[in-house]
């Protein structure tokens, strides 16, 4: 954990919620001047969309707020991610259960719901927007912006900034 902190965002398909969290947190970290200190990535527990760019609706909603999802490509969670990331943050309880089942006994990082870092939001899960309408993508952005700020404050407070 010396030097760089690794943060991995995890959802189901890695085309809606976790790439949004990836791009939003990347921007928040860059604005804080910490881009070279935090390694950020995202993945999905499922492999349905491996290699695909993020969902066009997620990309459009994020672009309206100034975030660029276009360089991202979906990948599936790899158990080796437990060696690479200090924070592994799941978007919902189902994603978290998948990760908990694979957690090595010696993993010393934080495996948790992303929104657990931001109790003030009053929510536990980032709802899956895939089968819903535009509003769902705005809600994803609202939640990950709020939780990203809380995570950034934690990293700075922990002296990792
Ligand atoms: P995500 O959304 O987990 O936020 O990327 C989904 C994307 C695809 C599917 C489900 C959720 N799918 O069933 O293909």
Three-state SS string across the chain, please? Answer: CCCCEEEEEEECCCCCHHHHHHHHHHHHHHHCCCCCCEEEEEEECCCCCCCCCCCHHHHHHHHHCCCCCCCCCCCECCCCHHHHCCEEEECCHHHHHHHHCCCCCCCCCEEEEHHHHCHHHCCCCCCCCCCCCHHHHHHHHHHHHHHHHHHHHHHHHCCCC
Q: For domain 5-157, which architecture applies?
A: 3-Layer(aba) Sandwich (3.40)
**7 — pLDDT class (breaks 50, 70, 90):** very high
Report residue 3's pLDDT band, with 50, 70 and 90 as the boundaries: confident
Ligand 1 center from residue 42 Cα (angstroms): 13
What pLDDT is recorded for position 145?
Answer: 98
pLDDT over threshold 90, residue 158: no
Q: Write down the domain spans for the chain.
A: 5-157
Q: Is 14 in the pocket of ligand 1 (CB under 6 A)?
A: yes
Mean pLDDT in residue range 131-158: 96
- pLDDT value, residue 2: 45
Ligand 1 pocket residue status of 11, Cβ below 6 Å:
yes
User: What are the pLDDT digits (tens) for 55-92?
Assistant: 999 999 999 999 999 999 999 999 999 999 999 999 99
CB 84 within 8 Å of CB 6? yes
What is the C-alpha separation between 116 and 91, in angstroms, rounded?
10
- Ligand 1, from 12, 69, 89, 95: best to mutate by most atoms within 8 Å of Cβ? 12
Residues assigned a catalytic role: 11, 17, 128
- 102-129 per-position pLDDT tens digit: 999 999 999 999 999 999 999 999 999 9
Q: What is the distance between the alpha carbons of residues 20 and 27, in angstroms, rounded to a whole number?
A: 11
Percent of the chain beyond pLDDT 90? 96
* Statement: residue 146 has pLDDT above 90: yes
Residue 95 alpha carbon, nearest atom of ligand 1: 3
| Ligand 1 centroid, distance to 3 Cα (angstroms) | 33
Q: Whose CA is nearest to atom 7 of ligand 1?
A: 13
């Amino acid at each position: 954990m010396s030097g760089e902190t690794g943060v991995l965002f995890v959802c189901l398909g890695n085309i809606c919620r976790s790439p949004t969290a990836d791009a939003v947190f990347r921007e928040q970290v860059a604005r804080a001047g910490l881009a070279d200190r935090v390694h950020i990535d995202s993945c999905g527990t499922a492999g349905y969309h491996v290699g695909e760019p993020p969902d066009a609706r997620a990309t459009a909603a994020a672009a309206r707020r100034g975030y660029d999802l276009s360089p991202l490509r979906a990948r599936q969670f790899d158990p080796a991610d437990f060696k690479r990331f200090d924070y592994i943050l799941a978007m919902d309880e189902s994603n978290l259960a998948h990760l908990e089942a694979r957690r090595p006994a010696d993993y010393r990082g934080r495996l948790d719901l992303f929104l657990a870092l931001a109790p003030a939001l009053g929510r536990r899960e980032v709802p899956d927007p895939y089968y819903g309408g535009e509003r769902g993508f705005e809600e994803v952005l609202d939640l990950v912006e709020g939780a990203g700020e809380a995570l950034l404050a934690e990293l700075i407070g922990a002296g990792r900034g």
